[in-house]
Structure formats: C-alpha cells, structure tokens
A = this chain, B = another copy of it.
Amino acid sequence: MRIPRHIGIIPDGNRRWAKDKSMDKSDGYQHGLNPGLEVLKEAMRYGVEEVTYYGFTVDNCRRPKEQIKAFQQACTDAVKLIENEAVSLLVVGNTDSKFFPEELLPYTKRNIEEDSSKMKVNFLVNYGWDWDLRNGFCSKAISRIDMIIRWGGMCRLSGFLPVQSVYADFYVVNDLWPDYKNEHFEEAIKWYQKQDVTLGG
C-alpha cells in the first residue's frame, strides 16, 4: 500500500456542527479535540511520517471575539493533548501578533535532541499564507505535503501552506470535523492509491 509520507488536515465545519446542534457557533471547536487525537492515532497506525493540522489563521481573527477565544483555547488544548503522544511537535504561526496564544510559545521550536524516528506533527496557529511568504517562508521547517484531507465539504485550501501544497492530492470529506470517524481516514488512503505521483512532471 502506498502511504502518503506527509498528510495535511483541514478540520473544517466546527461552527456548522454546533449550529446544527442548536449550540453557540463558538461551542463547536471543543468538539474538534477528540477527532484531532483520533486521526493522529490512525495516521500513526498507517505509518504516516508527518501530519500538519490547520489550527487557526490570521484571516480567522476577523471573526467575533467569542469565536476567537474559543478557537484559541481549542488549539491550545489540542497541542497539549498531542504533546502526550510519542511525536515531535512544532507550532508554526505569527507569534508577533496578540492573537497568538502565549502558552504555545514554547512549542514554536522543535526539540532538536528529539528521537528522529518519531512522527512529526505540525500545528498551524495564527498562520497566514501572506505572513509566511512575505517574511521569507516562515514555514520552511514543514516539508512538502502529499495528501490534504479537508472535512466539511469544501474543496479549497483557504490559505493552507501554499508552497508545501503545490503537488498535494486533495481529498474532501463531506461530514463535518466533529463528526470524524476513522472510516474517513481509511477512505482517503484508499482514494490515494488511485492517484499517481508525478510532482508536476
């Protein structure tokens, strides 16, 4: 089986999920934590070497204050959950802005003494494609992505790592992110078998 070396995860649909459940939109994010851990374990089981999560973006910070607080908290919680796993963790994003959660500052350097056989996990926090490119490719510690899986039905990058995504195969799950099931991941891997890797050649 051909396993993508590096998978990008776009966990979209938290607000729509909350709305469908008659909750406040901002309540959706906390329901995305468990899916984040489940998909990580599934990727490990398949032998994926690197996973990158799209946490929140500079663009997202134009939303109402209570939503901003909610996704900042959810990202902070997610990073702390992932920290407990046997992974090499890196947070990438614009730390010069007030929207970057202070608690996540210690995660913005990868521990170089770490066992290199560990799965790499990158978490984009207050990330901006424009910030990334204008400042000399701030995300260069993140490698080329082979497959992107996006939940929530939309087929677009929404600014996700433009350089690393140039050759990525894009798989869309119609279910919303808090409704994550391992079958989504399995279907994505199955679909990936039918894509040829040409790197644009």
Contact = CB atoms under 8 A, between A and B. Distances in A.
Interface of A: 57, 59-60, 62-63, 129, 133, 154-159, 162-163, 165-172, 195, 198-201
Nearest to A57: B200
A195 B154 contact: yes
Nearest to A156: B169
Contact of A158 (B155, B162, B167): B167
Contacts of A157: 165-168
Contacts of A129: 163, 166
Q: How many copies does the complex hold?
A: 2
9 nearest A-B residue pairs (beta carbon): A59-B200, A162-B162, A155-B170, A159-B166, A159-B200, A158-B200, A62-B201, A156-B169, A129-B166
Contact of A60 (B154, B166, B201): B201
A167 B159 contact: yes
Contacts of A159: 166-167, 200
A199 B59 contact: yes
Contacts of A171: 155
A62 B158 CA distance: 31
A171 B154 CA distance: 10
B169 A155 contact: yes
Contacts of A166: 129, 157-159, 162
9 contacts: A129-B163, A133-B133, A155-B169, A155-B172, A157-B165, A157-B167, A157-B168, A158-B167, A159-B200
Nearest to A129: B166
Contacts of A172: 155
A177 to B, nearest CB: 16
A133 B200 contact: no
A163 B134 CA distance: 11
Contacts of A168: 156-157
A82 to B, nearest CB: 24
